[in-house]
Amino acid sequence: MRFCVTIGPPLPSVQAEPLHHLRDFGLIMSTVETPALEKRNTPDILFTFNSIVIVGASDEETRIGGVPIVLLKKYGFEGKIYGLNPKYQRVQGVPCFAEPEELPEPVDLAIFILSGERLKDMLPRLKRKGLKGVVVYSAGFAESGAEGKELQAWLSMYASENEIAVVGPNCVGQISFAHNRSLTFANPMMVFPRMEPGRVALLSQSGGVAGNIWADAVLRGTRFSHVLTTGNEADLSYADFLTYLADDPHTDVVLGYIEGLKSGPEFCAAARRMQEKNKPLVLLRVGRSAMGQDTISSHTGQMSSDDSGYQAAFDRYGVIRAKSLNDLNDYARVLSLKDLKPKVTVVTTTGGIAVYAADLCADYGVEMSNLSKETEAKLAKFVPSFGRIRNPVDLTAQVVNNAKILEDALRALLEDPETGILLFLLSGKGTKEQSEQAIAMFKKLQAETSKKIVLSWTSVPAEVRMRAAAAGLIVYEDPVNFLRPLQAYFRFAANAQGRPAATARVVSSAAKPVDTLSVRSMLTAGSDGRSLLSETRAMEVLERAGVACPKRWSVRSEADLARIASDVVFPCVMKISEPVIAHKSDVGGVKVGIASQEELVQSWRFMAKNLAATEVMVIEQIGRGVEVLVGCLRDTTFGMRLAVGAGGIWTNLLEDTVTLIPPFDADYIRASLQKLKIWGALSGGRGQAPAAIDALVDTIAGTAAVGWSLRDVLSEFECNPIIVTADRAVVVDAIGFA
């Protein structure tokens, strides 16, 4: 029986409108027809508008109603600007009107600054003036209580029904340097001078954090195509903007800051689009701690935290995860560089710093060049005996102080075929004359080669590094800020070259639908007060769905044992099922290797007397094999997440698990299994016979199908263990928690 299916909602097409209501979609993509998708707004108008009205405009340039006008002018917007405020006839030199009806012509876009409740009055009136989009700075929506949630729900509905793209509410807007269009009141945009656009976009759910990231990155030399904030996402979501950026010809790299996603599948579709376009996506996701998580009862919940679903999505779709704001900036600088080539040749002026750089390369998996004998012979002509001519190269201060010799030595290193990047750790030369001479030399050398020269310039004022950067050189203070993200650069480039088309292997499914109403009726109260699906019932549900389970018999008396005597094949297993005991093996509630009818009766009598057993299960004993855990956990972001790892007695000892998110196709399941420590045992390591991996993939897929169909009934559903032998993968224990 084959379960190689794509389970869970299909990823929304990034060409069409994203999905909104996951529960309306089929369990198995290959057999269930997808309903028509609701029409969604897109961010396009925010980058192409030709007229704009500021609702709540101010003549004071530093007030929230005045800043947008200042920034629209500062960043070169050439379209029509209007104000809407009965206090003024003109604001900052632009026409201002008391009511929307007085606007002399249609407007494409509005910035809304007034209190949230004014939206219900203003939006319909602006819609009649041709409004296509609105940026809502105002707070007081879903973040502020029941009335705010109701107001945001109205805004979402109105935006959808009237095709008005909404950014926010509770946001600081956005700015497109590439399109000379500013829709923000962020203070850093006021303080910093206008600058040329770059190829990096910043997409943040938090406006305040976005300003900090942008300002720090700009000071380090990064230039941006757009800075976008999403706020409460009443209409346009994080995924909507990410999809736009994936197709944006002005953007090569996207930096992101997220706290939580409205729709995991929509995000995954957008991240996959970024992959297809070979654009790196670097995200800082906050809210990773376990505080606030609901109580969990199964191993699955213990092993698969809320953040593990996000990490699974990042791993699956090639998202680079930053750990800090500094990380974001470092990744932005390196990933926006073009045509970096491995390997790194490190050049220093002193031996001590050479060791530091070599250690960093080892720590971050950056490959260092192996210089040719010819190159070493050239260097030997310049470098004194107390220096070093192998990588990392120590030219010594003696060479560095001679401009001609230094230039010849660096040229020799650049000409070496193994050198892809020349990382020069330069100390000193901080006077104006010295630094200008050095900058001129590095510019000359860079112009002669396609290989990148990277400077780590220390013991000089920051102004020196700034002048070097202004001259077009790649300059750092500490080399760690370059080397740390470099491995991600090369890994992304390698993955882009070898990445197959984004299609899942899907074959016909023999999965049978699960009757959720029937399962609800099977729930019983557990010892902790939670409703649960007992092992007996859970195994019934799996077997009905076609998942491989052992033969088993329910026994409530010695008479039942006599009735099944001719059917039982020895050796067999007996497990207590009523009452439910959490760790039944610890108290004698599991007996394996029962070899005869007499032992079967003795085991029943022991459990009835010592454990007050009223029901046990007699189960076919599966041969020795690798034990695997598969657990399904309800997830508000991705619908469900799947934990797969070492099972049985090894669950807590090995701490070997991987998290998966929908859709669960066969290739994805197999690739995830290969990340586990137990993969060696499964695949036949150290001369052992390989286990039935295809059967395991099918069993995992079937379990996932059951878990997905029951995600509204059960918060957790676990099979532990699945025993994988040379020819079978059989679920021998299962339980569910509501």
Q: Is the pLDDT assigned to residue 304 strictly greater than 90? A: no
pLDDT of residue 290: 56
Rounded distance between C-alpha atoms, residue 391 and residue 431, angstroms: 29
Contact status, residue 10 vs residue 29, Cβ threshold 8 Å: yes
Comparing 312-316, 347-351, 411-415, 564-568, which segment has the lowest mean pLDDT?
A: 347-351
Measured N-to-C along each axis, helices 306-316 and 264-276 cross at an angle, to the nearest 10 degrees, of 20
Q: Is the pLDDT assigned to residue 5 strictly greater than 80? A: no
Rounded distance between C-alpha atoms, residue 182 and residue 74, angstroms: 9
Contact status, residue 242 vs residue 258, Cβ threshold 8 Å: no
What percentage of the chain carries pLDDT values higher than 90?
77
Contact status, residue 335 vs residue 201, Cβ threshold 8 Å: no
Q: What is the arithmetic mean of pLDDT over 19-43?
A: 45
Rounded distance between C-alpha atoms, residue 400 and residue 397, angstroms: 5
Q: Is the pLDDT assigned to residue 229 strictly greater than 70? A: yes
Contact status, residue 641 vs residue 659, Cβ threshold 8 Å: yes
Residue with token string 């006077």: 431
pLDDT by residue (tens digit) across 44-68?
A: 999 999 999 999 999 999 999 999 9
What is the rounded average pLDDT for all residues in the chain?
A: 89
Contact status, residue 187 vs residue 208, Cβ threshold 8 Å: no
The band of 349, judged by pLDDT with boundaries at 50, 70 and 90, is confident
Q: Is the pLDDT assigned to residue 32 strictly greater than 50? A: no
The band of 305, judged by pLDDT with boundaries at 50, 70 and 90, is low
Q: Is the pLDDT assigned to residue 413 strictly greater than 60? A: yes
Q: Is the pLDDT assigned to residue 301 strictly greater than 60? A: no
pLDDT of residue 368: 97
For the chain, the distance separating the N- and C-terminal CA atoms, rounded to the nearest angstrom, is 29
pLDDT of residue 495: 78
pLDDT of residue 530: 84
- Decide: residue 636, CB within 10 A, 0-12 exposed, 13-18 middle, 19+ buried: exposed
Q: What is the arithmetic mean of pLDDT over 323-342?
A: 92
CATH of domain 551-621: 3.30.1490.20
pLDDT of residue 497: 66
The band of 333, judged by pLDDT with boundaries at 50, 70 and 90, is very high
Q: What is the arithmetic mean of pLDDT over 705-710?
A: 94
The band of 510, judged by pLDDT with boundaries at 50, 70 and 90, is very low
